[in-house]
Amino acid sequence: MKEKLYVIKIGGNIIDDEEKLNTFLKSFASLETPLQGPGVKKILVHGGGKLATKLAERLGVEQQVVEGRRITDAETLKIVTMVYAGYINKNIVALLQANHCNAIGLCGADGDAILAHKRQHALIDYGFVGDVDAINTVLLKSLLEQNIAIVFAPITHDQQGQLLNTNADTIAQEVAKAMSREYDVSLIYSFEKSGVLLDAEDDTTVIPEITPVYYQQLKAQQKIFAGMIPKLDNAFAALDSGVKKVIICKAENLEQLTIGSSGTTIIAPAS
Amino acid sequence: MKEKLYVIKIGGNIIDDEEKLNTFLKSFASLETPLQGPGVKKILVHGGGKLATKLAERLGVEQQVVEGRRITDAETLKIVTMVYAGYINKNIVALLQANHCNAIGLCGADGDAILAHKRQHALIDYGFVGDVDAINTVLLKSLLEQNIAIVFAPITHDQQGQLLNTNADTIAQEVAKAMSREYDVSLIYSFEKSGVLLDAEDDTTVIPEITPVYYQQLKAQQKIFAGMIPKLDNAFAALDSGVKKVIICKAENLEQLTIGSSGTTIIAPAS
């Protein structure tokens, strides 16, 4: 039996709220499983929140948007590298250490952890945005085996000396997929709501489990909020690539979630 | 016989000069020894240069100086964390990867690599400045054994969640001392001049070797530039703690230096 590994993505709504972040990091630090106890393996992937935008405003660096898409120009890349890989990443690591969780903060260039290439698009030049090519599972495994939690900032590199701004959801998914060869991986997306809801306005209507068949039914009945569909499509794609479980839930509910009593669990077709 | 390890400190004069930095990183990437070849173990410690001061100016954060000492207030700590542990550290790592040198960038909080405490001083409150207590040699060794070069930003932590701004020369020295238990360590300080000079105005008057006895003679004859004395005192202290060799030289001369034909070598008393 493979050992359990949690890959947990937290978004801007947690990063931007000091109290929520502290509560989340406390739960993350004390995560345990009946089998592995407090030595359970874990990887955290964080997004950026509003701090980079705020810094860009203070520095008078205009955020370019082309056809509704945000562009990462050279100045913006400097800012996200400073904010994501510097300020946010190192503060999260220091707070985990204070909670007795040994953690190491990495960007994709560190130890060649995440190799990416600059996004090519026929119509839009996204600038210094990276799409993921490979995950260095040997490095990640060697750190996890030392009981070190890994904290990823959403910055990758191209092995040619170029850092690249990369979507944190994608990093979480690619890391989860790659690590599935070695571990029994649960991929957890933290979310502002309590899970996937039947009624978007009512936080008590969480759907506890979604199977592929049920997903098709929900879509046919138009019961899934349109914005949720890409997230769920990605979840099923991750399951197809070997990830054991995908859970969508509130970051504040991390503890209940690891015992399966919180959020929405996306389940692979019986194989 | 212990394996060789280089601990190399580069200062602001290299960080601030893109061409010098590129040349240095190329040499660092290709460092080798007759015995270990290109697999030689290496740790780079970088300072900050003028980038943090420039960013503070752009953000209108005033640099506080009390009795001639720079103070790290909360805003300045944010800035140095972003610039040192984010921008500079990750760009150095990406450039080393481009030069086929697998490297990982760490601050002291990462993997609890460097534990420090907030400086206590009877007269001056230095703010968030750290003095080093301990180096996690187990982590560093595990990375070096995977042939990963380590790149340290001069930021440490106190295990209570507080990041601390820490002198890069001190980090290099403490890392060199701690790693001497496991490796045959050469500690190399990069410098704007070619080494310790007999005539501060003449770069051809490098003293190739300084022993403790010769150092006393040079001091008695007032042939050592006053600013050099704390550096040399530190070098001898490092040798007393087990470091094999301390070399002071130009970063651009790194290649000649590793074969012993460049800079000033500080040598321990025969034991």
What is the per-residue DSSP string for B31-51?
--BTTTBTT-EEEEEE--TTH
Q: How far is B113 from chain A (nearest CA, A)?
A: 9
Amino acid at A50: K
Non-local CB neighbours of B167 within 8 Å, separated by 6+ positions: B154
The Cα A40–Cα A184 span in angstroms is 11
User: Phi/psi of residue B62, each to 5°?
Assistant: -75, 135
Instruction: Identify the CA nearest to A7 among candidates A220, A253, A189.
Output: A189
Q: Which of A93, A102, A110 has the CB atom closest to B105's CB atom?
A: A110
Residue of A nearest to B89 (CA): A86
- Determine the longest span between alpha carbons in chain B, in angstroms: 54
Which one-letter DSSP state was computed for residue A168? H
Indicate yes or no: CB of A97 within 8 angstroms of CB of B139: no
Is residue B69 scored above 80 in pLDDT?
no
CB contact A134 to B (< 8 Å): no
* Terminal C-alpha separation, chain A: 17
**Which of B46, B80, B84, B87 best probes binding to A when mutated, by most A CB atoms within 10 angstroms?**
B87
The Cα B11–Cα B60 span in angstroms is 25
- pLDDT of A23 reads 92
Is residue B259 scored above 70 in pLDDT?
no
CB contact B93 to A (< 8 Å): yes
Burial-class residue B83 by CB neighbours within 10 Å (0-12, 13-18, 19+).
buried
Confidence band for B229, pLDDT divided at 50, 70 and 90: confident
Over the stretch A208-224, which tens digit does the pLDDT of each residue have?
999 999 999 998 998 88
Are A141 and A147 in contact, with CB atoms under 8 Å apart? no
Burial-class residue B37 by CB neighbours within 10 Å (0-12, 13-18, 19+).
exposed
Residue of B nearest to A26 (CA): B161
User: Phi/psi of residue B256, each to 5°?
Assistant: -60, -35
Indicate yes or no: CB of B111 within 8 angstroms of CB of A98: no
Provide ipTM, 2 decimals: 0.94
Q: Cβ atoms within 10 A of the Cβ of A74, count?
A: 9
- Identify the architecture of domain A4-267 in CATH: 3-Layer(aba) Sandwich (3.40)
The Cα B180–Cα B7 span in angstroms is 10
CATH of domain B4-266: 3.40.1160.10
Residue of A nearest to B22 (CA): A161
Handedness of CA A236, A238, A240, A246 (dihedral sign): negative
CB contact B245 to A (< 8 Å): no
* Terminal C-alpha separation, chain B: 17
Question: A51-59 and B51-59 helices cross at what angle (nearest 10)?
Answer: 80
Confidence band for B258, pLDDT divided at 50, 70 and 90: low
Q: Which of A81, A93, A104 has the CB atom closest to B90's CB atom?
A: A81
For residues A74 and B234, which has the higher predicted lDDT (pLDDT)?
Answer: A74
As a whole-number percent, the residues of chain A with pLDDT over 70 amount to 94
Q: Which of B87, B103, B161 has the CB atom closest to A86's CB atom?
A: B87
Over the stretch A25-47, which tens digit does the pLDDT of each residue have?
999 998 877 676 767 899 999 98
Gyration radius from chain B CA atoms = 18
Mean pLDDT of chain B: 91
- Determine the longest span between alpha carbons in chain A, in angstroms: 54
Indicate yes or no: CB of A86 within 8 angstroms of CB of B89: yes
The arithmetic mean of pLDDT across residues A151-173, rounded, is 97
Handedness of CA A32, A38, A43, A45 (dihedral sign): positive
Handedness of CA B155, B14, B185, B177 (dihedral sign): negative
Q: How far is B216 from chain A (nearest CA, A)?
A: 44
Indicate yes or no: CB of B160 within 8 angstroms of CB of A98: yes
Q: How far is B21 from chain A (nearest CA, A)?
A: 13
Show residues of chain A in contact with B102, CB under 8 Å: 111-112
Which pTM does this prediction carry? 0.94
Residue of A nearest to B84 (CA): A86
Which one-letter DSSP state was computed for residue B154? S
CB contact B102 to A (< 8 Å): yes
- pLDDT of A259 reads 66
Indicate yes or no: CB of A86 within 8 angstroms of CB of B83: yes
Q: Which of A58, A81, A84 has the CB atom closest to B59's CB atom?
A: A58
C-alpha to C-alpha distances, B58 to A51, A102, A271, B52, B150, nearest whole angstrom: 17, 35, 58, 10, 31
CB contact A139 to B (< 8 Å): yes
- pLDDT of B270 reads 63
Non-local CB neighbours of B271 within 8 Å, separated by 6+ positions: none
Non-local CB neighbours of A126 within 8 Å, separated by 6+ positions: A69, A71, A72, A119
For residues A262 and B144, which has the higher predicted lDDT (pLDDT)?
Answer: B144
Is residue B249 scored above 90 in pLDDT?
no
Show residues of chain A in contact with B143, CB under 8 Å: 111
Q: Which of A107, A111, A143 has the CB atom closest to B102's CB atom?
A: A111
Q: How far is B136 from chain A (nearest CA, A)?
A: 12
Indicate yes or no: CB of A81 within 8 angstroms of CB of B98: no
- pLDDT of A230 reads 84
- pLDDT of B208 reads 92
- pLDDT of A70 reads 77
Indicate yes or no: CB of A157 within 8 angstroms of CB of B59: no
Q: Cβ atoms within 10 A of the Cβ of B109, count?
A: 34
